[in-house]
Amino acid sequence: MSARSRVLAVLNKQKPDLVPWFGDLDYWINALNAQGLMPEKYQGPGMFQLHHDLGVGFYLQGYWPFQPVYDGVQVEQEIGTDVADGYIRPIRDVRITRVKMPVGELLQVEKYLPGSYCWAYQEHYIKDWRDLKAIRYWYEHTFYQPDYGLAEARYELIGDDGLVLCYLPRSPLMEMIAVLGGIQAVTYAMTDAPDEFDETIAVMEQKSDEAAGIALNSPAECLMIPENLSSEVVGKRRFNQYMRDYEERWNRKIRAAGKYSFVHMDGRLKGLIREVASTGFSVLEALTPAPAGDLAIEEIQSWVEEDTVVWGGIPGFHFSDMVSDQEFDRFVIHVLEVMRSQPRYVLGVADQVPPGTRWERIHRVGQLVEQYGRYDR
């Protein structure tokens, strides 16, 4: 069976020959490209061949299949500058985004971290509750248009090696926490101006629904809400207050459209996994087991709905050389022993293969699946 036929079997409650193995290589690939170490044949569209040659099913990198269009809003991005000795010099590792509106301006500052090949927020758009008015104006004057080209092209590019997946918007609360404000500013805004905070959430949800409707009609067979949930950040009360309705509503619509719904839940699990699973997702993706997470791999099935697919299992740090080859094999074999017990699992990374991972270790997973991931007949 191919990688695609295996994962579709699990998604359709059938038993394939082997546990499907699908890994998120995006972070690792970006680091190799940044270092100039990626072989030419694997650059650009060659990343699909890279997945094939490493024996890793493809499903990410996903993307938002819609583009924002602004009315009365200017979004400008620039490289930061520094003044020294009377000269203005660009700081190429600082990225500044300004959102200019009649009601004011929002500012976001990001810094590139060369050691980890990623951007980190230094300053968020939301500093305190007084920025909520500008956030509402921004969303009220944002509209969306379809952007389906990449999803259409990927069916031929991926072939039997994977799935085509696109994103819905995050729920408004997680968009605030993950992108707009960070947990501290959002918590203070929620406390200092609860009515205005709820009004802002309502505006964001209306616009999120518009974008989600476009994503629903995309060619993608799988649709993910990339919440990046961790239960020490969002507890049961806030989840039920601000997130449950959004996730339940779009899970119903995705299923009615004959597609599979995913949620990205890559943090601590115990405090929230039952609530998230109960909203009706087809797949809980990037689940991180112990020792990195707070649930052993064999415990997870008893915490979720019976028909929920569990996707994840190998913590990202296991791919680093901090874990020996022998320990890596032992851990993956144990995970496969659990996963081959019933066809409701997809072996994946929780949540990404990190920069610096040896090619041989990624390839090793497929070898272990062939040897230890066969279902008992």
Tell me: the pLDDT tens digits for 115-124?
Answer: 899 999 999 9
pLDDT at 280: 97
Percent of the chain with pLDDT over 70: 99
Length of the chain: 377
Give the C-alpha separation, 41 to 88, whole Å. 40
In-domain check, residue 82: no
Maximum CA pair distance of the chain?
A: 75
In-domain check, residue 77: no
**CB atoms near residue 304 (< 10 Å):** 20
Angle between helices 194-216 and 182-192 (to 10 degrees): 130
Give the C-alpha separation, 22 to 24, whole Å. 7
Peptide bond into 114 cis (omega under 30): no
Average pLDDT over every residue of 206-215: 98
- CA distances (Å), origin 319, targets 139, 286, 302, 350: 40, 15, 27, 11
Is the pLDDT at 103 greater than 80, yes or no?
A: yes
- The string of pLDDT tens digits covering residues 282-338 is 999 999 999 999 999 999 999 999 999 999 999 999 999 999 999 999 999 999 999
pLDDT at 376: 80
Q: Look at the chain and report how many structural domains it folds into.
A: 1
Give the C-alpha separation, 313 to 351, whole Å. 9
Burial of 52 (0-12, 13-18, 19+ CB in 10 A): middle
Lowest mean pLDDT among 90-99, 138-147, 186-195, 209-218: 90-99
In-domain check, residue 113: no
Average pLDDT over every residue of 262-270: 93
Is the pLDDT at 275 greater than 70, yes or no?
A: yes
The whole-model pTM stands at 0.95
Q: Can you say how many angstroms the Cα of residue 26 is from the centroid of all Cα atoms in its chain?
A: 11
In-domain check, residue 33: yes
In-domain check, residue 107: no
CATH number for the domain spanning 174: value is 3.20.20.210
Taking CA 354 as the corner, what is the angle to CA 350 and CA 356, rounded to the nearest 5 degrees? 155
CB 151 within 8 A of CB 219: yes
Higher pLDDT, 78 or 135: 135
pLDDT band at 151 (very low <50, low <70, confident <90, very high): very high
Residue-wise DSSP of 163-209: --EEEPPPPHHHHIIIIISHHHHHHHHHHH-HHHHHHHHHHHHHHHH
DSSP tag of 18: B
Is the pLDDT at 377 greater than 60, yes or no?
A: no
Report helix, strand or coil for 364: helix
In-domain check, residue 108: no
Average pLDDT over every residue of 215-237: 95
In-domain check, residue 171: yes
Burial of 334 (0-12, 13-18, 19+ CB in 10 A): middle
| Mean model confidence pLDDT for the chain | 95
- The string of pLDDT tens digits covering residues 34-93 is 999 999 999 999 999 999 999 999 998 889 999 999 999 999 999 887 777 777 777 889
Angle between helices 359-372 and 47-54 (to 10 degrees): 50
Question: What is the span of the domain harbouring residue 353?
Answer: 3-71+126-372
**CB atoms near residue 109 (< 10 Å):** 16
Strand order of the β-sheet with 309-315 is: 165-167, 222-225, 260-264, 283-287, 309-315, 345-350
> In which region does residue 75 sit, left (phi positive, over 0), alpha (psi from -120 to 50) or beta (all else)?
beta
